[in-house]
């Protein structure tokens, strides 16, 4: 469900075959309110700017790693580069919500139980990333989640909570007036 949400893909039937539509065309198939369309536009703008900055950075890092670091084989270099790409794409998929909060100058309502679940999940990831032996890049990726979480906490302090705005799961806690 996460891949479907991030890619904004929908499956529809045409000529007795399933067809997959993604991007803006897929969203046109689903009815949206004006607020949802505005949020989607801001989200797309954030993804575009992050992608423009970080996709080339991932490619440059892969080339830099190939030139300067010893690898056992091409396969080892490819796995190493793809792992770093996954960590970067995870960061790119987390930060547009912060951009949307900044642009709308509000934070979507998050129930206390869900908020505490996210906080404990972030803390537990950090603890296990330092207890269990794993590559440093994975540990840094866990700390990246903390940075995003603390920025969200700061935004929650700074901006009002909008219960009419749908959260990341598309659920609004109050109807708009």
10 forms beta bridges with 21
Region class of 46: left (phi > 0), else alpha (psi between -120 and 50), else beta: alpha
- Cα–Cα dist 92/87, whole Å: 9
- Residue 63 has a pLDDT of 93
For 111, list phi and psi in degrees, rounded to 5. Answer: -60, 155
- How big is the CA angle at 150 (ends 40 and 41), to the nearest 5 degrees? 10
pLDDT in tens, the chain (177 residues): 455 555 566 777 777 777 776 655 444 445 467 777 787 788 888 888 888 888 898 899 899 999 998 889 999 999 989 988 888 888 887 788 888 888 888 887 777 777 788 888 888 888 888 888 888 888 888 888 888 888 888 988 998 887 777 666 666 666 666
Q: Do the Cβ atoms of 176 and 35 come closer than 8 Å?
A: yes
């Amino acid at each position: 469900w996460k891949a479907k949400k991030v890619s904004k893909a929908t499956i529809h039937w045409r000529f007795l075959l399933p067809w997959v539509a993604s991007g803006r065309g897929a969203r046109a198939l689903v009815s949206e309110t004006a607020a949802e369309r505005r949020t989607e536009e801001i989200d797309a703008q954030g993804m575009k700017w992050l992608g423009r900055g970080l996709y080339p950075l991932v490619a440059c890092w892969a080339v830099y790693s190939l030139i300067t670091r010893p690898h056992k084989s091409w396969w080892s270099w490819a796995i190493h580069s793809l792992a770093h790409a996954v960590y970067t794409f995870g960061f790119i998929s987390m930060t547009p919500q912060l951009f949307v909060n900044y642009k709308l100058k509000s934070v979507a309502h998050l129930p206390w139980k869900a908020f505490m679940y996210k906080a404990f999940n972030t803390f537990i990831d950090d603890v296990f990333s330092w207890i269990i032996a794993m590559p440093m890049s994975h540990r840094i990726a866990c700390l990246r989640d903390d940075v995003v979480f603390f920025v969200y906490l700061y935004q929650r302090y700074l901006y009002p909570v909008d219960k009419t705005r749908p959260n990341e799961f598309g659920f609004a806690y109050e109807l708009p007036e």
